[in-house]
Amino acid sequence: MTPEDGRSNGYIGSLKRRIRIVMLLDAAECAGLVPLAIGHLHFLAYMSNTLAPVWDMPILEGKLLKRQSGPFYPALQRDLDHLVGSGVVSISKLGYLLSEGNRWRLEGSYHLNKTLAAPILVALEQFESEQLLMSFIREMVYAISALSENDFDNAISADATFTDPVIAFGNVLDFGEWRKVNYTANAARQFGHLLPEGTNATLGEELHFYVRHLHRRMHGER
């Protein structure tokens, strides 16, 4: 799948985003992160894009607008709203938030409706590529689940790609379409060779180490 596919507003693009949402919310359930606040869901979606190359997984969206408030994917949000409308995703803690650009945005926390989501997850598991994607997303969310609520809110402020000083807020952060500079994936991969005594880190360790280093940087370390 190319980033263009994922970006598309067509049926296939929308389907892929909905699958990604279901997988992210399922992983959040396994990790103990539900109900998942809207900002956290978009952060997880962003991390699933930037970290995807570490596991040789497809990037769904290779670029996004760099906003002060963190990642937000309008198309993903539309698909999330559709999933709420169809009952696959449930929303709680509903409210409104004044967002960037002085616009009101729906705020809420999400979790899967198990009855309706279970057949989707079972169907996805029939495909090896989707199984691998689910494994990646689950491990990534497990790693992120170790953060405190406050650190989860602020993790983007330490991410290697998002904090690229070359890209100012309001500009497009491109890590997987034209520019292909993905500092997040580069850092995670780098961990693979840094264990003592010649041990190679596993793909799982690379994700957990990246999140642990995010944590260190949020708390003032290099």
Work out how close the CB of 105 gets to other proteins at its nearest, in angstroms, rounded to a whole number.
Answer: 26
Query: 21 in helix, strand or coil?
Result: helix
Question: Angle 34-36-38 (CA atoms, 0-180°, nearest 5)?
Answer: 170
Select 97 or 146, whichever has its Cβ closest to other proteins.
Answer: 146
Select 78 or 180, whichever has its Cβ closest to other proteins.
Answer: 180
Select 14 or 190, whichever has its Cβ closest to other proteins.
Answer: 190
Question: Angle 184-187-190 (CA atoms, 0-180°, nearest 5)?
Answer: 150
Select 15 or 118, whichever has its Cβ closest to other proteins.
Answer: 118
Work out how close the CB of 13 gets to other proteins at its nearest, in angstroms, rounded to a whole number.
Answer: 28
Question: How many C-beta neighbours within 10 Å does residue 123 have?
Answer: 11
Work out how close the CB of 146 gets to other proteins at its nearest, in angstroms, rounded to a whole number.
Answer: 4
Cα gap 161→82, rounded to integer Å: 30
Work out how close the CB of 102 gets to other proteins at its nearest, in angstroms, rounded to a whole number.
Answer: 30
Cα gap 190→92, rounded to integer Å: 39
Work out how close the CB of 33 gets to other proteins at its nearest, in angstroms, rounded to a whole number.
Answer: 8
Q: At what angle do helices 11-31 and 128-145 cross, to 10 degrees?
A: 50
Q: At what angle do helices 183-190 and 203-218 cross, to 10 degrees?
A: 110
The kind and range of the H/E element at 104 are strand 103-112
Select 22 or 160, whichever has its Cβ closest to other proteins.
Answer: 160
Binding residues for other proteins, rule: CB under 8 A, are: 29-34, 135, 139, 142-143, 145-149, 151, 160-161, 163-165, 181, 183, 186-187, 189-191, 194-209, 212-213, 215-217, 221-222
Select 61 or 139, whichever has its Cβ closest to other proteins.
Answer: 139
Work out how close the CB of 98 gets to other proteins at its nearest, in angstroms, rounded to a whole number.
Answer: 28
Give me the phi and psi of 179, to 5 degrees please. -80, -40
Helices (H), 71-191: 74-86, 114-124, 128-145, 149-154, 183-190
